[in-house]
A and B are shown apart, each in its own frame.
Chain A
Amino acid sequence: MKDLKHLYYFENLLQEANNDLVRQAASEGRVAVGSVCSLVPEVLLSLPGCFGVRLRAPRTGSMEMGTYYMTSLLCECCRAILERAIEGGYKFLDCVIAPDACAQMNRCVENIDLQKLCDKEKFFVSYADVPMKSGDAALRHYVKQMRLRALDPLRDTFGVDTSDAALREAVARHNEVCRLITAIGDLRKEERPRITGYEFHVLCTATYCCPKDLLVEKLRETLGELKAREPAPEGAYRARVVMAGSELDSPDLVKLAEDSGALVVADRFCFGSLPGRQEIVLTEGEDVLTQICRQYLEQGQCPRYMDTAKINERKAYVDALAKEYRADGIVYEQMKFCDYWGYERAAASRIMREEFGYPVLSVDVPYVVGTNAQLRTRMQAFVESVEIKKIQGEAKR
């Protein structure tokens, strides 16, 4: 397929946490709000005068200092982020709003806080307690926490407008990006998709780590370009897969899968669009924050949700994605040392294979995937097995 006009631009945005658009927004006097987890609704960080930046540590090499502070058995993503903070990579932040969602990421943020690695005068870290199940009680708690731990500190420290009107404005801007990403992502449902999983992941990741409003024009142009794009020839990919799992803030793994012949047609992972890039639907007559939190709670697919309904829903959701995006198999990935996904991957990969009948590849991945040869071999073997099953007509659904 012909290269996308702005792909290089988007790729470059992923090369630094403090990228061109972040610098541009900061120079306009906007408040840079760091986040580390999808459980703090992004719209709360993108109120007028603010922009949210999901923390990443692109181009990570050594993580020795992160390892000293948090040992070699903690999630590499957390260690890499701490390492980047120690190197001074997040000094542009005005605050971090972090949920106490997983212990490891919480420790990472606490280390950033305790070691005073961000030194702006008004810098603060706010820790929110976020619910671990759905339901009315959980929603009330969620709303209360987001009010106390996200909105109020932003208002009190930086004078940010946190009124319903401001929230509605933030939601409207958020929805604009979601509509574009969803429209682009929907092209992956086609028999011969006009976008690769890698390209999509680049675009989607950029929306997590840049001021969204500054991306809209290029995203719109890219959507227009894609609509007219000639798809890859038939047989360019040997299998279509759903990729599900923990944080993937770099498109390397998706690229590795596609280089091995597996087109990633659906992204059910942290930094992905399913869920994450659905429009937030607001109605009149109900508190806006409650409506936002409800949708995050209902749509959330994090394995941290512990109630049986949510546990079952996660598998059903991946099944629905596989059907909708016509996937031949599922790749479950887990960031090494992630407790949540360690269990979820083990369970889901068995359940999706034994109860839903999908071919499943289950892998744990390092933070820096690069051109990992072992992963490539496993991916290639998986593609071959899916292909053989297809040829032999043995794939059972």
Chain B
Amino acid sequence: MSKAMGSERIGKVYKGGKTRARREWRGLRDTWYDYTRWLFIWKTMIGFMMNLNNIRGFFRYRWMANYLAVPDFLDRHTEGLRGPQLRIAHTEFDLIVAHMCDTMTTMFKADPLIGNDKKLSDSIVVFDENMMSQIMNGFPNLHMVCIQIPPVYTSSTMTQEGVIHYIDVAQEFGIPADVCPMPAAELGVAIDDDYPHIGKCAVQCNTTCDGSLMGNGLEARRYGIPTFQLPVPIRHTQDSVQDYAAEEIMNAIRFIEEQTGEKFDWDNYWKCMEVFNEETKQMLEWLELSRSPYPQVIGNNVALYRDATYQVAGGRDARFLDADREITRLGLEGYEKKCLCAPVVRHRAILWGVQAQYYTAFPLWLQNCWGILPLIDMLSLTSTRIFQTGDEKQALLDMAHLYQNMTMRNRSNGGYEVGVKDLWRFCESFKADMVIMYEHIGCKAMAGYHGIFEEQARERGIHLVWVTHGLMDPRAASRKDMRGEVSRYMRAVMGEAPLDPSLEDFDDSNAW
């Protein structure tokens, strides 16, 4: 027990049940900091529950129970961290919690069953979960709500069994068990009538996969509001698809204008895109750090947060830019002090494929248990283009570019060049000797490259470690199963022993 990273045996907190006592001694300064952030999260949550609408929402929607595990979520995602990395994690996750509270407060206020604020509801445009939001940068008077995020996406990250009920509902309806659990769970929420009936209209998108697209059609029946389907070209690297992509963006804008009576505000759009550009520049700084011998913004600290900034906030919420700048400052500070992200750095890894939502803390385990630095993940490797402002025609093409390069679909769609070839380019660029290859059982787009990945990794001498998971359904492959695949590889192929033996084999099947 000391302030040194790796001084505690972290696995001791997992005793087979729910983890309720998990304070970690990180030295006086870091422990005190962590404790104050823990209090801050409770303050945010209590503040949220002081609102009568939110209390009613809590009892109306079964998925709300997952959010009781928010403090545990924070603890899981800061295990073993010290110094700048600890502060980066809290800067990010505290903001995400606050942002989620804002979103849910808006949803419940507009919900006819709860707040019944019709005016607010009429100012809401319902978006898909897996969808860029930059179109809404031109509608400052409207709210964009990614309706599936609170019930499904974040629910399953808070508690590993958070959406199992909804997956089962979808399967009882007749959806095959082999499809991706995410759209299945989203459909399950619709079947259970567990989406708030809010919004003036909805925009759906053909991101991220064939299953997601198909679930949308059924969900639209349940929304019961005018819905626009935005088809984004699949072969997004081809020049020949860009005009069509832009045309459909324009059609989506027209649809929102017609439904809400609002006019697209180009000035506000430019303003938001300037913020978005600044956020991208911060991201580029983090990536540059990750190419150095002393990466600072890696693993969990980039994966979930980048998703929120890039896709959901999209330049509209200035808090994210403030947080980004703070993260850059902390990252540079850590770099100058040559801080390491793991007790001992043994391998530099790229995480490829789709991460398990029920185990988003997995990269942290890689660091703490085996000294594998998860430098960057596939989902965070999205567009880093800096966009011009002032040219409306170009702006439509830019928006089209962003929608085509949405998180995940920019790699799972578009062909071999972006799905496989880019991986080897990133390995070289980040000086990675290892690839942690997530094999999400229901993701057929990535599974189609299975043999190609193996053959090409062998040719390049890169260690390719398969980690099988069920995205949102831990029954398919548990957290322990995921760890087991890495541990077996590290023992059998690499001949290495864990840095923290308590983390090699422990039971967290009943943990949140």
Contacts and interface: CB of A to CB of B under 8 A. Distances in A.
Interface of A: 68-71, 73-75, 78, 100, 102-104, 106-108, 110-111, 113-114, 127-129, 131-133, 137-138, 140-141, 144-145, 148-149, 303-304, 306-308, 311, 334, 336-337, 339-340, 342-347, 349-350, 362, 364
Given A107-B449, A311-B217, A132 B176 contact: no
Contacts of B243: 141
Contact of B447 (A71, A137, A340): A71
B241 A129 contact: yes
B231 A103 contact: no
Contacts of B175: 342-343, 346
B209 interface: yes
SS class of chain A's interface: helix, strand, loop or mixed? helix
B257 interface: no
A104 B445 CA distance: 6
A385 B367 CA distance: 59
B451 A306 contact: no
A364 B176 CA distance: 9
Interface stretch (B32-40, B145-153, B357-365, B412-420): B412-420
B447 A70 contact: yes
B441 interface: yes
Interface string B191-219: 00000000000001010011101111110
Contact of A111 (B173, B214, B413, B451): B451
A374 B445 CA distance: 30
A179 B251 CA distance: 38
The 7 closest A-B pairs by CB, nearest first: A107-B448, A69-B451, A346-B174, A343-B214, A141-B244, A103-B445, A132-B231
A306 B447 contact: no
A343 B447 contact: no
B229 A111 contact: no
Contact of B448 (A104, A145, A347, A350): A104
Nearest to A107: B448
B210 A339 contact: yes
A345 B174 contact: yes
B178 A337 contact: yes
B219 to A, nearest CB: 11
A344 B173 CA distance: 12
B231 A349 contact: no
A326 B89 CA distance: 64
Interface stretch (B72-80, B232-240, B276-284, B311-319): B232-240
Contacts of B204: 306
B452 interface: yes
Contact of B452 (A74, A114, A347): A114
Given A111-B448, A339-B179, A340-B214, A137 B247 contact: yes
B210 A103 contact: yes
B9 interface: no
Contacts of B247: 137, 140-141
Nearest to A349: B174
Interface centre among A103, A129, A131, A303 (most CB of B within 10 A): A103
Given A74-B447, A111-B448, A144-B240, A133 B229 contact: yes
A68 B217 contact: no
B156 to A, nearest CB: 20
B444 interface: yes
B71 interface: no
Given A71-B450, A73-B441, 9 more contacts: A68-B451, A107-B444, A132-B206, A140-B244, A304-B213, A334-B176, A336-B178, A342-B176, A343-B215
Contacts of A138: 231, 244
Contacts of A339: 179-180, 209-211, 214, 444
30 contacts: A68-B451, A69-B450, A69-B451, A70-B448, A71-B447, A71-B448, A73-B444, A75-B444, A103-B445, A110-B415, A113-B416, A129-B233, A129-B234, A131-B244, A132-B229, A140-B247, A141-B244, A145-B240, A306-B213, A308-B220, A311-B217, A337-B176, A339-B180, A343-B175, A343-B179, A343-B215, A346-B176, A347-B217, A349-B174, A350-B174
Contact of A103 (B178, B412, B451): B412
A78 B218 CA distance: 26
Contacts of A104: 210, 444-445, 448
B442 interface: yes
A104 to B, nearest CB: 5
B295 to A, nearest CB: 32
Contacts of A132: 206, 213, 229, 231
Contacts of B412: 103
B231 A131 contact: yes
Nearest to A364: B176
B248 interface: yes
B106 interface: no
B227 interface: yes
